[in-house]
Amino acid sequence: MKQTVTIISIFLIFSVFSKAQTIDIITDLVGPRGIAFKGNDLYIVESIYGEEGRIIKINITDPSPVPDEVIGGLNDPRGVLVNGTKLYFTEFNLGKVQKIDINIPNPNPLDVCIELSQPCDLALLENTLYISEYYTGEVPSPRYLGRVSKKDLIQPNASTIEIASELGGPLGLSIQGNFLYISEDWADRISRLDITANSPILENVITDVISPFGSTIYENKLYVASNGNFNKILKIDIEDPYPDKLEIASIPGVPTYLCVKGDDLYISEFSGKKISKLFLPGTGIENYDGSMPISIYPNPAHSYFNITNLLCVATVKIYNMHGKIIKQEKVQSDEKIEIGNLSKGLYLVAINNDHTFKLIKKN
């Protein structure tokens, strides 16, 4: 019986580490939606159906951040994007994209795009703004009536141009290289467009993604908030022509919008009324040239461990079970990493944020 309990306990511990653990950044928000960074300031949209919305900001270096209102009195704001001193945001009910100067106290919003159909998210490539429009038809009607539009920000009088139509509830937008990635809520899929093409053709990236919402890209991986009754964070390798979706976290508070700063993924939890974050280590196990696999030994370890088959100097970070970095250094292959001063227990070792291992420290 004792042996069975021990085995179950070990299994549970490893199950915890197989899914990333979130850390609360700020709580007691009112319907948090879009999030975006400017330096250490995190801008957060607060919006509840039928009520006035606002945009606040917090400094994430503050251990107990206090929200500072940037602008209030908004009509169902959703997505937000910061470019230089300009903050762009969508107003779902008014069918607008507006902007403010974040250096001006009590700013007055200026229209960027009008006569849109339920604008949700924004993405920017150079001077072109991309907008997801959730639904362009009347109810009842076929659901595939969403679209993506673009606007040239250099030409103030330029018209908004449709670049994709008949989409299944487009929400989150992310750009990598020439491709715009689109989360389609009703269609349960991620699609993409080559936005450099004269006539972009929509293609599927992956299907059977339940109610995908916001997305962001980190190290060639697309991270997607999948909500509805699912409420997970998924990771998709966009360099793989036939990608799988990997569940990396369960988010009971209904994840909506995402953004990355450093090695952390920030998550807007709508019903959880908070912003949380999780660390994004890689999961690869092969060397950079795809030859000899990287490994750590001994494991379990007492006073030190080594990393084999590194081709160059690597940054090694050791995390405790709360996601806190407790040791960081640069090492070469087979160089000892001292851990004698660490407490007995389970740790996570991240190598260049590309490779991740579980390390058991013993007495």
* % pLDDT > 90, the chain: 63
**Nearest residue to 318 via CA among 338, 300, 302, 334:** 338
> What pTM does this model have?
0.75
| Domain spanning 295-361: CATH 2.60.40 | yes
Return the pLDDT at 129: 97
| Residue found under tokens 């849109």 | 116
Provide the pLDDT for residue 287. Answer: 38
The pLDDT of residue 55 = 98
- Predicted confidence at residue 3, as pLDDT, reads 39
Residues in the chain where the model's pLDDT stays below 50: 1-18, 282-291
334 close to 350: Cβ distance less than 8 angstroms? no
Q: Torsions phi, psi of 313, nearest 5?
A: -60, 135
Tens of pLDDT, residues 125-173? 989 999 999 987 665 555 778 999 999 999 878 899 999 999 999 999 9
Return the pLDDT at 100: 98
Q: Are 20-279 and 295-361 the same fold in CATH?
A: no
pLDDT digits (tens, 9 = 90+) for 81-123: 999 999 999 999 999 999 999 999 999 999 999 999 999 999 9
Domain boundaries, the chain: 20-279, 295-361
Question: Which two three-digit tokens encode residue 207?
Answer: 């299907």
The span from the CA of 13 to the CA of 315, in Å, is 26
**Cα–Cα nearest to 294, from 283, 302, 280, 303:** 283
Q: Which CATH superfamily is domain 20-279 in?
A: TolB, C-terminal domain (2.120.10.30)
pLDDT number for residue 353: 65
Model pLDDT, residue 1: 42
Predicted local confidence at residue 139, as pLDDT: 55
Peptide bond into 140 cis (omega under 30): yes
